[in-house]
Amino acid sequence: MFSIIKRQNQPSNEDDIEVKEVSDALFIENEKLIVHYDKPLGTGVCSAVYRGFLSGLAPLAKLSSLVETQKFRDCEVAVKHALHFGDHEVEQLFREIEAMRILEYDRNVISMLGWRMINDKPAIVFELAQEDLLRYIKMQRLKDKKEIQFKTIISILWQIAKGMEFIASKNIIHRDLAARNVLLTNDFQAKISDFGLAVINNLDMKGSALSKRLPVRWLSIEAIVEKLFSEKSDVWAFGVLMFEVFSLGQDPYAGIETRQILSFLRSGERMSRPELATNEMYEMMCRCWEENLETRPKFEELVAKLYDVLEGESGYSKYYEELELSQEQEGSGPSNVNNSEALEVLDDDSL
């Protein structure tokens, strides 16, 4: 598909037909999609997301036999549109389309309802969610800590781990798992999004074929040093996401320059326990950050442990008692904020 679109900015009618044939049943007819460009939902480096409306039954629902997908009919949607027509932008969007095609549907992964070309640029149509996790946790800063719903936080983390377990079962490595890339619905259903950096069916992909712009502050040691990505590197990123959540949105490695992160990690140092994390939660983070990837847990194990915490009988009171005890025993995490870019150049000479 990428070679067809790249051939020229304005494909001929024959090319249009070829694109539709290659895209199979996930291609959306022009008249069925309305994009509200006056209602932007967000803008990234390579793409922008707008609110839209999809008429009729979504292509995903036609392809899937799952009952859960049948709700995607005559519904509001999010439309992710490439900002430029460079090779990099188009490749990222088609990489995302291919990953979403394989994943099809999971309640904790954002659903791709279909895709089409708009003004000669690829656009992906997703189910609509209300906000991203990073914005949500930053809003919690306005509350007293005892007003923050611990059970809701653990439920969100459990759902993310479940979604990542599903993604790993499809031999897909996300490579950009972070709070900014998890979406929340009104009823706090967590959905993993943004598969533009995903690697498909390659558990140890290395080398120059990989994008150099990667989220360095979420990368494992082997990903930085060897360009080695696997489920275990996504597990490392999940530990960083846990840090984001329990620090209420603090940037990872705040106050440390990007080029110093590798030496910091190789010396055995790790980020300090965030103020809202109990010892149990911090221990889970540190297990995700084991240098030896073989000793890191798999998502299956993280799902089980978070479920046990979620279903425990201790309730909120015991959590806050343990939290206060933890704060007496240890210093809290760093409080300075580093407004670094999420995607940074992964350069051997600078790390």
Q: 250, 254, 241: which is closest to 306 by C-alpha?
A: 241
> Which amino acids are annotated catalytic?
176
DSSP 276: T
By 3-state DSSP, what share of the chain in percent is helix, strand and coil, each rounded to 5? 45, 20, 35
> What 3-state DSSP class applies to 57?
strand
> What 3-state DSSP class applies to 14?
helix
Residue environment code for 95-107, b if the CB has 16+ CB neighbours within 10 A, otherwise e: bbbbbbbebebbe
Non-local (6+) Cβ contacts of 103 within 8 A are 109, 166, 167, 170, 172
Measured CA to CA, the distance from residue 187 to residue 182 in angstroms comes to 14
Cβ contact 77:125 at 8 Å: yes
> What 3-state DSSP class applies to 130?
coil
Residue 3: exposure state from Cβ atoms within 10 A (0-12, 13-18, ≥19): exposed
